[in-house]
């Protein structure tokens, strides 16, 4: 989601069936558990009346299965494109804050209107209550609970923000994306992030929130789309191409968790074996030893692990053929597989291929256009954010807190039938 002007919000009052908010905490009638508010969490208070929300913030919640199906249908019935794509600017900026503080708080206030609208787009009753959310975090991601509690405090201690930041069963979303791991002459993970430009957080984070250094592309206020840590583990996600929803965590928080607590692919695999995921996603992992693994994750079945160094937008089999066809998932996978098998290819050839079609999606209509290419070098603790004609270098040794703006395709008008 694209940042909007900073807006200070008081958290809204959340009434959930069977859950009573009290001065001392939350009582869940279904389980009989009374969960006290942590010291930093305030009992919810009403949102000031008449607070305007940016119209674009409400639209930020539209990436659901309905939108996906409409995009797929439009693409399958499309006539040839007319004219050049409409270009819109996206900006990425580097933010280094080793412990959560004023900089994260400023980002929260900037993005919260859009995230609030997205989180409530299906109605408050569809979202998990605070008591269940904190239990999920403590059970499955205990090492980052202190970070979560600090972020809730910085966000103002509101119930709604606390629930959204838990990333327990958020609204559904999907993206495109391609990724590949190179291991011949030094490990490298390269990925294209394909999504709608107005829904990009636009933050490259450099943090040490649990004591481990992490650089990654932000999403969902503290989650990550991809990243690398100072132990030499890199991770990246793609949508898994299946229309299934279950009880679990949003994948950006899981990527953050992997990079906070794991040093190797083997350790990351053990985490993915036990942490529940709420949508189907693929995660490709690469560590400093050159070990590589791709995990096919879904809420309706155990994770499937494959010793393959790539992922696009399907898993072992194509489960949603219309989406796979519209996004070119199989064609992109075949191209990446051929590049990795080519004994004459170099790491540079692989990166170059990600910067041009078909791996780089420049259409931005019927599916998602490529917003950036990221190249992670886990042995060296550095990453390159790439576009045709420009490369932005970031590393643990020299993190750049500047910004970079690119024009990306938003849409192309189609000829009438």
pLDDT digits (tens, 9 = 90+) for 12-60: 334 333 333 444 454 455 555 554 444 333 333 222 222 222 233 333 3
Percentage of the chain lying above the pLDDT 70 cut = 77
Token pair 């917003």: residue: 371
pLDDT per residue as tens digits for the range 73-116: 444 444 444 556 678 899 999 999 999 999 999 999 999 999 99
- What is this structure's pTM? 0.82
- Which helix H or strand E contains 337, and what residues bound it? helix 329-341
- Cβ neighbours, 10 Å, residue 236: 31
List, as one string, the DSSP characters of 167-224.
Answer: TBS--------EEEEE-BTB-EEEEEEEE-GGG---EEEEE-TTSS-EEEEEETTTEE
Q: How far is CA 195 from CA 55, 276, 338, 389, in A?
A: 20, 24, 25, 21
Predicted local confidence at residue 145, as pLDDT: 98
Alpha helix (H) ranges present in 10-60? 55-59
List pLDDT tens digits, range 337-383: 999 999 999 999 999 999 999 999 886 544 578 999 999 999 999 99
User: Is the predicted pLDDT of residue 184 greater than 90, yes or no?
Assistant: yes
**In the chain, what are the helix, strand and coil shares in percent, each to the nearest 5?**
30, 30, 45
Q: Where are the domains of the chain?
A: 28-42+62-417
Closest CA to 165 of 147, 179, 182, 178: 147
* CA 332 – CA 305 distance, rounded (Å): 20
CB 257 within 8 A of CB 271: yes
What is the predicted pLDDT for the residue at 353?
98
CATH 3.60.60.10 fits 28-42+62-417, yes or no: yes
Q: What's the start-to-end Cα distance of the chain, in Å?
A: 33
């Amino acid at each position: 989601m694209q940042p909007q002007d900073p807006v200070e919000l008081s958290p809204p009052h959340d009434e959930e069936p069977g859950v009573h908010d009290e001065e001392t905490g939350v009582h869940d009638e279904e389980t009989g558990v009374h969960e006290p508010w942590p010291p930093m969490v305030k009992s919810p208070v009403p949102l000031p009346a008449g607070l305007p929300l940016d119209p674009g913030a409400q639209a930020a919640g539209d990436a659901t299965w309905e939108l996906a199906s409409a995009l797929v249908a439009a693409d399958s019935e499309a006539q040839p494109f007319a004219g050049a794509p409409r270009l819109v600017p996206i900006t990425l900026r580097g933010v280094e804050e080793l412990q959560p503080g004023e900089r994260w708080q400023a980002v929260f206030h900037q993005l919260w209107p859009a995230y609030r609208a997205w989180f409530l787009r299906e109605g408050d009753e569809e979202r998990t209550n605070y008591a269940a959310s904190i239990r999920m975090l403590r059970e499955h991601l205990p090492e980052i609970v202190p970070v979560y509690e600090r972020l809730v405090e910085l966000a103002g201690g509101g119930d709604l923000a606390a629930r959204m930041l838990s990333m327990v069963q958020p609204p559904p979303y999907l993206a495109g994306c391609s990724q590949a791991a190179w291991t011949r002459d030094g490990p490298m993970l390269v990925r294209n992030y394909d999504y709608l430009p107005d829904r990009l957080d636009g933050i490259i984070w450099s943090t040490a929130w649990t004591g481990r250094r992490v650089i990654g592309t932000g999403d969902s206020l503290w989650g990550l789309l991809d990243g690398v840590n100072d132990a030499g583990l890199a991770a990246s996600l793609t949508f898994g191409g299946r229309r299934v929803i279950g009880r679990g965590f949003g994948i950006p928080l899981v990527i953050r968790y992997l990079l906070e607590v794991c040093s190797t692919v083997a350790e990351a695999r053990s985490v993915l074996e036990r942490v529940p995921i709420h949508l189907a996603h693929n995660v490709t992992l690469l560590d400093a030893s050159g070990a590589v693994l791709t995990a096919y994750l879904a809420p309706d079945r155990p994770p499937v692990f494959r010793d393959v160094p790539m992922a696009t937008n399907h898993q072992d089999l194509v489960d949603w053929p219309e989406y796979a066809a519209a996004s070119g998932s199989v064609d992109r996978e075949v191209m990446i597989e051929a590049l990795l098998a080519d004994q004459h290819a170099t790491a540079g050839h692989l990166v170059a291929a990600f910067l041009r079609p078909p791996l780089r999606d420049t259409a931005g209509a019927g599916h998602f256009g490529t917003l950036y290419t990221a190249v992670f070098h886990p042995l060296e603790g550095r990453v390159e954010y790439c576009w045709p004609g420009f490369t932005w270098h970031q590393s643990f040794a020299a993190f750049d807190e500047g910004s970079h703006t690119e024009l990306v395709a938003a849409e192309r008008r189609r000829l009438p039938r």
